[in-house]
Amino acid sequence: MKHIILAITLLAIVSLVACTIPSSTPAQTATSNTAAVSPGTHIPPSTTPAQTAASSTATVSPITRTTPTATPTQIATSYATEEAEIRDLVDNFGKRLQNVPLQALEAAQEIQKQYSEFVTPALLEMWMNDVSKAPGRIVSSPWPDRIEITTLSKEGTDRYELTGFVVEITSLEVVNGGAATKIPVRIVVQKVEGSWLITEYTEEQ
């Protein structure tokens, strides 16, 4: 009987001790973990996805676009090409002068036919309305054979001025060469809608 009473007493004591031991709460666990860090220790903040993306893009260098500039050689080549085109234009125009008989009734039609590809529409219209202002063949002999260019200068963007002579010949010069007469001429050539055209033409009689 005494043994039974002793066993019951021990069981009661064990149960009482178990009830008095407190269990750790989540807050206490967190506090315990935080408390384990020594004072003065730096804890880096966690990195968010946005911060990671910003860090990655911050290292990308901006792309710099530069416009290439023409070299002196390229500029000189461009001028030489333009001058060749203008000389060719004036030379071919000069060869058409003898085909336009200014005293003929069909002079205006011949002006349009022979000169339209070389001069601006405004200059062509002026010559057709007043053939006395147009270049061409006035008498049977001498007649205009060609234009000799003596100077060619660039006066501005897409504008050149030329001076020279309208060379007139007779049948004698056809055989022996040379010129019967030379008429001073001034010509202005400009680029109009992508094409070089004569905009001014003045003969000094």
Residues of the chain with pLDDT > 90, as a percent, come to 60
- Report pTM: 0.65
For the segment 154-182, the average pLDDT, to the nearest whole number, is 96
For the segment 13-25, the average pLDDT, to the nearest whole number, is 52
131 against 9, higher pLDDT: 131
pLDDT above 60: residue 26: no
Longest dimension (CA), the chain: 168
Q: What's the rounded Cα separation, in Å, for the pair 141 and 119? A: 26
* Structural domain includes residue 31: no
Q: Which domain holds residue 98?
A: 76-203
For the segment 130-155, the average pLDDT, to the nearest whole number, is 97
Task: Assign 36 a pLDDT band (cuts: 50, 70, 90).
Answer: very low
Q: What's the rounded Cα separation, in Å, for the pair 169 and 167? A: 7
* Structural domain includes residue 55: no
Range of lowest pLDDT (29-43, 53-67, 93-107, 122-136): 29-43
* Structural domain includes residue 195: yes
Q: Angle formed by the axes of helices 107-115 and 72-96, to 10°?
A: 150
146 against 1, higher pLDDT: 146
* Structural domain includes residue 22: no
* Structural domain includes residue 178: yes
CA 27 to chain centre: 70
Q: What's the rounded Cα separation, in Å, for the pair 125 and 57? A: 65
For the segment 15-31, the average pLDDT, to the nearest whole number, is 48
Task: Assign 27 a pLDDT band (cuts: 50, 70, 90).
Answer: very low
* Structural domain includes residue 68: no
What CATH number does residue 178 fall under?
3.10.450.230
**Torsion angles phi and psi, residue 178, rounded to 5:** 95, -160
Is residue 164 within 8 Å of 151, Cβ to Cβ? yes
Q: What's the rounded Cα separation, in Å, for the pair 97 and 84? A: 21
pLDDT of residue 76: 73
* Structural domain includes residue 10: no
- Tell me how many domains the chain contains: 1
pLDDT above 90: residue 40: no
Q: Which spans in the chain are helix H?
A: 2-20, 26-35, 49-57, 72-96, 107-115, 121-129, 171-176
pLDDT above 60: residue 196: yes
pLDDT of residue 71: 85
Tell me the per-residue pLDDT of 47-101, one tens digit each, with 9 for 90 and over. 555 554 444 444 555 566 665 677 878 777 888 999 999 999 999 999 999 999 9
* Structural domain includes residue 32: no
Is residue 172 within 8 Å of 192, Cβ to Cβ? no
Is residue 159 within 8 Å of 180, Cβ to Cβ? no
